[in-house]
Amino acid sequence: MEKYLRENFDVEPKRPSNDALTRWRLAVSVVKNPRRRFRMVADLAKRAESERKRRELQEKIRVAIYVNKAALHFIGGIGSTITSEKQASYILSKEVREAGFGIEPDELASIAGPHDNKSLEHHGGIEGLARDLSVSLKDGVVSSDIPVRQNIFGLNRYVEKPSRSFWMFVWEALQDLTLLILIVCAVISIGVGIATEGWPKGMYDGLGIILCILLVVLVTAISDYKQSLQFKKLDKEKKNIIIQVTRDGCRQKVSVYDLVVGDVVHLSIGDQVPADGVFVSGYSLSIDESSLSGESEPVNVAEDRPFLLSGTKVQDGSGKMLVTSVGMRTEWGRLMVTLSEGGEDETPLQVKLNGVATIIGKIGLAFAVLTFFVLTARFLVEKLLHNTITDWSASDAMELLNYFAISVTILVVAVPEGLPLAVTLSLAFAMKKLMSDKALVRHLSACETMGSASCICTDKTGTLTTNHMVANNIWICGKSMQINGRENEGVLKASVSEIVFNHLLQSIFLNTSSEVVKCKDLKQNIIGTPTETALMEFGLLLGGDFNAYREDYKILKVEPFNSVKKKMSVLVALPGSGGFRAFCKGASEIILQTCDKIINADGKAIPLSEEQRKNITDVINGFACEALRTLCMAFRDIEDASNLDSIPDDGYTLIVVIGIKDPVRPGVKEAVKTCLAAGITVRMVTGDNINTAKAIAKECGILTEDGLAMEGHEFRSMSPHEMKELIPKLQVMARSQPLDKHTLVTQLRNVFKEVVAVTGDGTNDAPALHESDIGLAMGIAGTEVAKENADVIIMDDNFSTIVNVARWGRAVYINIQKFVQFQLTVNVVALMLNFICACISGSAPLTTVQMLWVNLIMDTLGALALATEPPHDGLMKRPPIGRNAKFITRTMWRNIIGHSIYQILVLLILTFEGKRLLKLTGSDANSILNTVVFNSFVFCQVFNEINSRDMEKINVFRGMFDSWVFLIVMVSTVCFQIIIVEFLGTFANTVPLSWELWLASVLIGAASLVVGVIIKCIPVGPTQNPAKHHDGYEPLPAGPELA
């Protein structure tokens, strides 16, 4: 079975090949309801069509942009004439005029989309456009105008397919072929029954089947509908982007859905452009338009090329844009509405369980056909023996119809349609719970794969630490001091000259990507990265005025910080003197290398001697060993105005070394310990100083005595063989570049066959997130590019949340195994019981209605009970599930076979010896016995469901009362069973039972708990002497041979 599954039903968790997806689809057979079974499966034909349309649209957009550029360039004069004529005949609609705007929505949309510079110039450029939109470029939109703007220019939403109603799910559930056959049988049964037995007695059997089918359909539809609502809510959350705008003169964060035309949006590296717009201001703004036009070359956006298109990404730089079109008036909106995604790729477990369902379905079909032939053959033989083969009546036809219905019902029970859908149910439940625990799962398969993670490569800043940074120590002009609030201003001013103090404040306030802005409560707030914010707070503590420095100095050029250069540089024009000054700041050792001078206490730049360089390095290392992030600030005066195209890379004068404190998050040490106990290796990959990284890693419990810490440049220079020797010991990589992280992930996956989870927040982390088995993007510090390439977004940037995702991933896998064990046991028992009884007695012990109820218990209700169990601590005390581990393990086979033998034996004894054992006499003895058999069978499944809660441990009740879904399903099943037996006997062919027989049925079911204990004592092959833990929990065997 395992070999068959691997050959036909094996797909990769990420980016599975089309061949693998097609192969398993072709291998699936015996499907009762294709529409329901394959609802959560990608439509490959639609996907191919969607890709073709996307390429065509990208080509059209690209051609339109280039044609428009060419036309405007070569026929500028004619273009001006046409534009003038167009504007002369241009009349505003009454609604636009009354709303106070000077431009129509369609006219506005035709500016940015086609890159129409002439129209922009005609409207007076960006300032004129702002006037037409009644907006201030400085203060942004007035909040009270938002409803008017949404009414005139539209909402920032794309047209989506309407969600399916509940009745569509009911209709889908009714597409089950076996249920349709049973409905036909029921209708015939009602017709023949009324004709032979009269009204209303003749209709009970058929009506009972129809009512039971309706119950099955209703419960199935409710379950599927609730799942669809969960996925829709999660899908909306995935598309929700938080952006920064200026409104009412204040900087604030808003949802992309709330964006309106006229908004002034702030963009930085890694952001997605949320709407069409025009450039207001910024530095080195570079846009990746490949998602829209297919062009891989980035586009530099500036005043001469001011157009920004929705859906594109900021590759470098920063800037502000004025929104001109939103929603369906943007090029991106028109692109999105034309495309049909074709669904998300199915997960490996979904595919595997489709394979299991196919195998069992084939066996079930064989047994159903065999049962029908056996029953029919016995019936015909009896007629031959009684010489009535030529004498046929309506009751004979009803008998054959009943045999057919029983066979179809066996097929209903035998084909485990709910197996693949149980994965979806479990994943939906886990995703909902993880959402409330601050983890947004973007791809279904990630939730599943995380349970197999054997290695986590994590960032330091913000993930292991709080990301609430404060400047803690500084070294300036040969003096080191600790920062203790406002008193530092006086101490610093007393120890250095005014020139040095002024240079320090210039470096802080001019060389920064952060801003001091006014918030809604009119208080000043710092907007920027945590490091920038810490520096800005330090500058303000020293009494500096951010806005005053920004007004006095004109910024000419900015080179934003990136993870490769590890520095930020800025070029400014000095007031009055006409000179220029460059500032740079960044990783301490990198900035120190660019310096050949140092500023002394008198404010003079003196040559930097080797001894001073060594002393400064010792200061940097001293700060780093105290777990402080260190950075240096430097400046360089430029006299020659002819060479201002680039910011110099050397010749700087060192101003200051700053140590920034970023404490370890509470709970991280315990989370790392949990990972190690679970067999998950944690590796820190950071861009920080190696001493800082080592200090934090030791505090978190990542770096051990025999572990290895090294820098990225050392790792890069190694040969593949050296890497193979070193990686198992590697625990910390400092001063790493994104390429180092990508290389490490590739080696771990390809050479060591590890299942790797990787965290990332920057645009340059995208390749590593894409390459990993599970990409984890940071929700707070992460860029939109990183989030788009990730599988899970950690909303609170907390390492403990990552561990929680791993815990839920394991829970999903184990829960599906529990459900498979439970369902296969019911399948085996139902098949064998009906077949053996059909062969021996010529009749099936369970009627069609009873079998449909059993199918409901084991399919939808069983999945609800077992596939939604929350994780327990024991899951993180066992090794991760290997890449090639068998899904149906020896332990599961042992449990399935053991419980099946017990149930089959007990139920067969009851069926054939029940009257004697239970001392049943009288005319209704057969009806009572059949009811007892049915009742005992159901209670066997109820207690088997409890048994399935843990496949290894004897105590199956632990944590049961924490799973409210499981308890509700159990109570509902028992209550409805009582109603069926006691009150619905007319339809279900049951009779009310005495309390003694109820007790007997419950005890027969409960005995399976004792049987379960005995079965679990049977060894299942060689084990690796798993270590016992303090709570008595034993890890399951793991590896390619054992699960």
Two tokens at 875? 């899951």
Q: Are 544 and 533 in contact (CB under 8 A)?
A: no
Phi then psi for residue 655, to 5 deg, are -100, -55
Q: Which residues are catalytic?
A: 459
If you ran DSSP here, which 8-state letter would residue 463 be given?
A: T
Phi then psi for residue 921, to 5 deg, are -135, 170
Q: Are 101 and 151 in contact (CB under 8 A)?
A: no
Among all chains, which residue has been given the structure tokens 């009310």? Answer: 992
H or E element at residue 987: helix 985-988
How far apart CA 923 and CA 1001 sit, in angstroms, is: 21
How far apart CA 143 and CA 145 sit, in angstroms, is: 5
Per the DSSP assignment, residues forming a β-bridge with 59 are none
Residues ≥6 apart with Cβ < 8 Å to 203 = 190, 193, 194
Q: Are 571 and 635 in contact (CB under 8 A)?
A: no
Cβ count near 708 (within 10 Å): 14
Cβ count near 634 (within 10 Å): 27
How far apart CA 1017 and CA 1004 sit, in angstroms, is: 21
Q: Are 1002 and 847 in contact (CB under 8 A)?
A: no
Phi then psi for residue 812, to 5 deg, are -60, -50
Residue type, 737: Q
If you ran DSSP here, which 8-state letter would residue 257 be given?
A: G
How far apart CA 79 and CA 83 sit, in angstroms, is: 6
Q: Are 942 and 858 in contact (CB under 8 A)?
A: no
How far apart CA 319 and CA 285 sit, in angstroms, is: 6
Q: Please spell the DSSP secondary structure of 748-803, one letter per residue.
A: HHHTS---EEEEE-SGGGHHHHHHSSEEEEETTT--HHHHHH-SEEETT--HHHHH
Handedness of CA 514, 519, 525, 531 (dihedral sign): negative
3-state secondary structure of 154: coil
3-state secondary structure of 641: coil
Q: Are 755 and 454 in contact (CB under 8 A)?
A: yes
3-state secondary structure of 316: strand
How far apart CA 392 and CA 954 sit, in angstroms, is: 56
H or E element at residue 331: helix 331-338
From residue 852, give the alpha-carbon distance in Å to each of 406, 434, 710, 894: 10, 34, 63, 27
Compute, in degrees rounded to 10, the torsion defined by CA atoms 955, 961, 966, 967. 120
CB-side neighbour CA atoms (13 Å) of 171: 5
Residue type, 179: L
Two tokens at 578? 């006409």
